[in-house]
Amino acid sequence: MPDTFNLDAYFNRIGYGGSVKPDLDTLVALQARHVSTIPFEGLDPLLGRPVPLDLGSLQAKLVKSRRGGYCFEQNAIFNAALRAIGFATIGLGARVTVMSQPGAPLGPRGHMVLRVDLPEGPYIADVGFGAALQDAPLRLAPDLEQRTPFATYRLTELDGLYTLHVCTHDVWRAAFVFTLEPQLPADYEMANWFFATHPGGPFTRMIVMQILKGDARVSLVNTALSERRQDGRIIERRLASAAELGEVLDQVFDIEPPAPVEQVFAKIAPAVG
């Protein structure tokens, strides 16, 4: 597998033809294109397949194929693109809280986030948070509401622990918490192995997908397909068969699954009755 990053192939994958400078405008444009073309998905853990994080494997899957990935894959490939352009980046580790009750103990560092240092100051870039894909980089500045086309965000900080809050359709949620401690590749490898193999984790027992298409945030959780538009409209339906799942993977998420769609549907059918 090659260990160099093919920036032109990545630009072609996300349909990007703009500026190639390590500045804020380029970062904003790249993140918007990435989350609208490379879907968040965790089919490999669901099917018991390995999730390698080496650059060659990531390019083969996310750039050269009709596939997506989850946070460790998405933000690793985005980080490679940013560094190839000349951005100064640092990989961080976050603990997901979006499904936790207030005051619940924090879980493991199960999410990868990027810090990008720009002349305007530090920013957080994240193309791999499947619960609410982030359509724009955010200033690393506490207590500042930051609006994007798809959501409003706010960072808070207490004793060095940052919390990212996201508001969609007038509902605020604490998405994840993180510190500014740089993470090593080994940290991501260990977390990736845990979440790709743990039988009680979300990715080994359910489909979780999301992509931003036009003015809609499109999500699939098992057989529940939802389309949440920026104007507040919500369109929902249930997928009743493997054929419907295959159609959605192909036409909505532009994914060619790594196994027959009947096998994928069989994995989630018991969970949905």
One pLDDT digit (tens) per residue for the chain, 273 residues: 347 999 999 999 999 999 899 999 999 999 999 999 999 999 999 999 999 999 999 999 999 999 999 999 999 999 999 999 999 999 999 999 987 777 788 888 999 999 999 999 999 999 999 989 999 999 999 999 999 999 999 999 999 999 999 998 788 999 999 999 999 999 999 999 999 999 988 999 999 999 999 999 999 999 999 999 988 899 999 999 999 999 999 999 999 999 999 999 999 876 554
In a domain, 231, yes or no: yes
Domain ends where: 187, 215, 241?
A: 187
In a domain, 1, yes or no: no
Please state the pTM of the whole predicted model. Answer: 0.95
Structural domain containing residue 254? 203-272
Looking at the fold, whether 132 and 208 belong to one and the same domain comes out as no
23, 25, 34, 126: which is the annotated catalytic residue?
126
Residue 271: predicted pLDDT: 54
The domain tally of the chain equals 2
Residue 158: predicted pLDDT: 95
Residue 168: predicted pLDDT: 80
In a domain, 154, yes or no: yes
Looking at the fold, whether 85 and 115 belong to one and the same domain comes out as yes
Residue 169: predicted pLDDT: 76
Residue 2: predicted pLDDT: 47
Q: Is 238 helix (H, G, I), strand (E, B) or coil?
A: strand
CATH code, 64: 3.30.2140.20
CATH code, 222: 3.30.2140.10
Q: What is the DSSP string of 41-75?
A: --HHHHTT-----SHHHHIIIIISSS--B-HHHHH
Q: How far apart are the first and last CA of the chain?
A: 41
In a domain, 80, yes or no: yes
Looking at the fold, whether 74 and 166 belong to one and the same domain comes out as yes
Phi, psi of 42 (to 5 degrees): -130, 45
Looking at the fold, whether 28 and 111 belong to one and the same domain comes out as yes
111, 135, 159, 170: which is the annotated catalytic residue?
111
> Does the annotation count 167 as an active-site position?
no
Phi, psi of 31 (to 5 degrees): -65, -40
CA 130 to chain centre: 5
Looking at the fold, whether 169 and 252 belong to one and the same domain comes out as no
Task: Kindly state the tokens that stand for 104.
Answer: 């619940």
Looking at the fold, whether 158 and 91 belong to one and the same domain comes out as yes
Looking at the fold, whether 173 and 143 belong to one and the same domain comes out as yes
Looking at the fold, whether 122 and 241 belong to one and the same domain comes out as no
> Does the annotation count 135 as an active-site position?
no
Give Cβ neighbours of residue 205 (< 8 Å, ≥ 6 apart): 46, 199, 271
Residue 1: predicted pLDDT: 37
Looking at the fold, whether 239 and 161 belong to one and the same domain comes out as no
Domain ends where: 125, 152, 187?
A: 187
> Does the annotation count 25 as an active-site position?
no
Looking at the fold, whether 220 and 182 belong to one and the same domain comes out as no
The type of residue at 239 is L
Contact 74, 128 (CB under 8 A): yes
34, 44, 71, 135: which is the annotated catalytic residue?
71
Looking at the fold, whether 43 and 105 belong to one and the same domain comes out as yes
Per residue in 170-206, is it b (16+ CB within 10 Å) or e — as a string? eeeebbbbbbeeebeeebbeebbeebbeeeeebbbbb
Looking at the fold, whether 174 and 212 belong to one and the same domain comes out as no
